[in-house]
Amino acid sequence: MFWSHFLNPDKSSAKAGYHRISQKEARQMMEKPGILVVDVREPEEYAQGHIPGAHLLTLDRIDAKSAAEVIPDKETQTLVYCRSGHRSKMAAGMLVELGYTQIYEMGGILSWPYEVEHDQ
């Protein structure tokens, strides 16, 4: 099954552009310029709290056009997260299928120990 490859990534999937990283590694990456953070939850979830600077790209909206609006360059280092980690794995797989080469899946915001901002 297509999704089983992304739900249980191995070394070959990392070569294809999918990388599973810890939240500590993600936080360190965010300190570098040019890193894009993408939240794949629903707008209501995003408004309740998200990683500062994260762009919203809901899982059910991911296609070539919507992905290109948020991530114009397919070689941009992109961190992907959701609530618990399930949707971010699926989203990472979808983005790799669309040709993105630097997708870093970092799990869910429920376990994010760093800063979070809320929409007013």
Q: How far is the first Cα of the chain from the last one, in angstroms, to the nearest whole number?
A: 41
Beta strand segments in 5-76, E: 18-20, 36-39, 55-56
**Residues catalogued as catalytic:** 82
Cα 18 to Cα 77: distance, rounded to the nearest angstrom: 11
User: Burial level of 11, CB count in 10 A (0-12/13-18/19+)?
Assistant: exposed
